[in-house]
Amino acid sequence: MGKARKFLSREQALVAELKEALGNARTLEDVYEALSRALLSLCEADHLAVGCANPDGTAGLQWKTDTVHPLLKDYAEWVQEDFVFRATVVQPNLVLSDDQMLRGQALVETETFRRSQGAGLKLKRVLASLLFTEQDLKGGIAMYRESSRPFTLRAQWFLQQIIPYISRAVARLQELYAVRFERDLLKAIAMGASPVLVLNSLGRKVVDTGPAIPLLERWFPSHELSDGVPRAWAERVRALSRFDVAVDPRLESLTLERGADRLDVTFSPSTVSWGGRNLWQVRMHERVHWLRPDWKEKLTAQESRVADCLHEGLANKEISSRLGCSVETVKVHIKSLFEKTGTHSRGEFVAKGRRA
């Protein structure tokens, strides 16, 4: 950056105005408006983009820009190929110019240039920085110029001086967005009583209702879970999230069985999305056998069927008809049920035998 510089009077006024505006910002749009008023003319930039990290944990940033949206709208899909990202991610909170990022590589050879051309833009120069706090990505800023004339060192220096204020503003926004995001998700999934997981397009858990994780821990061994989510379900959501192939509708539901117990699971897009990508609601409905497990394991298969009939309130003749055996055989099974469970009547057997 060269020798030490001082703010000019005009720059001092802009910094004071920016600090106040960024301190009061409650949305990414507020941050963008404050920066665009100060930076576009001062740094002689044609375009500005400000990003905030996604609260759902997906890669990339949610960008606010008035002019380069065609380039950044699918940024999460090609972020690893962007020379700007690759350079700034290893030098966080430092403003870099395109020459510093490219290190001799020709701009026209980059995926970023190819995509900007495809988006109808003529971007030739950039100043950018990724904003981190304690190793966590919070946001980013990029200024673009369409002419071949590089950004001045003065512009780069000025942007570097205000990076701490921008970083604090987007970090605060991320916290606000995360709270609102989780509140909206919980509101969306509260419509049903069943346990719910919300997963992002990578299959990672974003939020869950309280009973979801204990339920999954009963159904899956620990080595099949990652952050409480069955690995097979995460893979299923990644398949459902793909845009390049037709989705097999059979992926949208499944049923697990364990003895007489069942777990019905449905996968559906959430009414809440983030960054234009679907989130997935995974709803679970457990159908457990009515009879307490310690009693059920004492019974034969036929006795279990008789027990179910008693639970339904069927008479001996009705049980006989359903199971295809004589009434006398039914009576033998019922007597065996009472002996094995220490009960003396149908009512007592059903009342004491219900799963807690």
Q: What angle do CA 222, 226, 231 make, to 5 degrees?
A: 95
Eight-class DSSP state of 166: H
Q: What is the set of domains in the chain, with CATH numbers? A: 9-179 (3.30.450.80), 192-287 (3.30.450.20), 293-353 (1.10.10.10)
Asked whether the beta carbons of 91 and 39 are under 8 A apart, the reply is: no
Rounded to whole angstroms, the Cα distance separating 128 from 157 reads 12
Residue bearing tokens 């408006």:
33
List C-alpha distances in Å: 227 to 45, 182, 206, 223. Answer: 44, 17, 10, 11
Per-residue model confidence as pLDDT tens for the chain (356 residues) = 445 577 788 888 888 889 999 999 989 999 999 999 989 988 999 999 999 887 666 666 888 999 999 998 888 788 889 999 999 999 999 999 999 999 999 999 999 999 999 999 989 999 999 999 877 888 999 999 999 999 999 999 999 999 999 999 998 888 887 777 777 777 766 666 688 898 988 899 888 887 899 999 999 999 999 999 999 999 999 998 887 667 778 889 999 988 778 999 999 888 776 655 678 989 999 888 889 888 988 999 899 999 999 999 999 999 999 999 999 999 999 999 999 999 999 999 999 998 86
Q: Report pLDDT for 97.
A: 97
Q: Report pLDDT for 1.
A: 47
Eight-class DSSP state of 131: E
Checking 240-244 for CB contacts under 8 A at 24+ apart, the result is 240/267, 240/280, 241/201, 241/202, 241/277, 241/278, 241/280
- Cα atoms in the 13 Å half-sphere on the side-chain side of 158: 24
